Amino acid sequence: MKIDSHLHFWHYHPVKDAWITDEMSVIKNDFLPADLLPLLEQQGITGGVAVQADQSEKETHFLMDLAAEYDFIKGVVGWVDFRAKNIEERLEYFSQFDILKGFRHIVQAEPDDDFLLRPDFLKGIAALSRHNFTYDVLIHPRHIPYAVDFVKRFPNQRFLVDHLAKPCIKDRLSDEWARELRAFAPVENVSCKMAGLVTEADWKNWKYDDFTKYIDITLEIFGTERVMFGSDWPVCLVGASYGEVCDIASKNTEQLSKSEQDKIWGENCRDFYSVKDKR
C-alpha cells in the first residue's frame, strides 16, 4: 500500500484560513477528497492521512466525516486543546473513533518559541499515550531545541516531526538545521515526514536536486525506518503539482533498495498511525 501521510482538506474561508496569503492565492479555494482522488490514482497511491489545518474540534469532526465518506482516507490527525482543564475528558471522548489516529497543534504560529514546554501543554500531551494517540510536531528550525527537550520527556509517546522541521531550502540554509535535527537521531519514538518540501523552496525556480541534501540528511538522521512520504496537498500547489511532489520524493530516494522505498512510501506510515484498510 502506498500512502500519502500528509493531506489537507478545507472549505476555504478568508477569516478561518487567514494564513493563506495573497501570494498563495492558488489555494484560496475549496479542496476536498473528490479533487484529490484522480491525482492519487495517477500515482498509484491508495491511502492517505488527513491532517488538521484549523485549530478546532469542529475541524477534527470535519475530517472524520470525510474519512467516513472516502475509503482512501485511512486516518485522521485532528486538533484538541491540550491546555484545556478537561483534556482528559476530551481525549476519552475522541478515543471512541478508530479513524482518529492522533493530534497536532500549529506550534509554528505561536508567539513563544518554547511553547511546547508550557506546563499546561505538557500536561495535556502526557495524557495522549493512555489512548494510543500520536502527536505531529509542526515546527520551524528555531523550535528544534525545544522540540528535542519536549519529546525526550515522553519516551512512550509516538511523535512525528512534520516537513523535516521546515528547513530554509530556498536560501540553501542547511548547516544549523542539520546540526540541531541530529539531536533526534537517538530518540527512537520520533519519526519524520518527508513532506512540505516544495513550500520551503523557491516556488517558481526549484529543481529536483534542490532537495537532495535535505532528504539525504533526514535519512541519515532518522533512517529509512522512521521517514515517510507526504505531499502536503493542497498547500504544495503554491510551488508544484501533486505529480511533481511525488517525483521529488521518487528522484531523491531512487538510490535506496526496494524494501527501503516501500517503507518510506507506505509501510512506516501504516505502522506509525496503525492504519487499517477500511474495505
Tell whether 51 is covered by a domain: yes
Q: Region 261-274: what's the mean pLDDT?
A: 97
Is 277 a member of any domain? no
In a domain, 206, yes or no: yes
Instruction: Report yes or no on 279 lying in a domain.
Output: no
Q: Judge whether 241 lies within some domain.
A: yes
Mean pLDDT of the 93-98 span: 98
Checking if the pLDDT of 169 tops 90, the result is yes
The count of other CB atoms within 10 Å of the CB of residue 151 is: 22
In a domain, 278, yes or no: no
The pLDDT, as a whole number, for residue 172 is 84
Determine, yes or no, domain membership for 30.
yes
Q: Which domain holds residue 86?
A: 3-272
Is residue 126 classed as helix, strand or coil in its secondary structure? Answer: helix
The predicted structure's pLDDT at residue 278: 62
pLDDT for the residue 279? 54
Residue 121: the pLDDT is 98
The rounded mean pLDDT for the chain is: 96
Number of domains in the chain: 1
Region 86-96: what's the mean pLDDT? 97
Helix 33-43 × helix 242-251 angle, to 10°: 40
Q: Is residue 38 part of a domain?
A: yes
CATH of the domain at 128: 3.20.20.140
CA 147 to chain centroid, in Å, comes to: 15
The span from the CA of 10 to the CA of 36, in Å, is 12
Q: Which residues are within 8 A (CB) of 144 and not within 5 positions of it... i.e. 6 or more apart?
A: 165, 177, 180, 181, 183
Q: Please tell me the pTM assigned to this model.
A: 0.96
For residue 36, what is its C-alpha cell? Answer: 484529490
136-163 tens-digit pLDDT: 999 999 999 999 999 999 999 999 999 9
pLDDT band at 174 (very low <50, low <70, confident <90, very high): confident
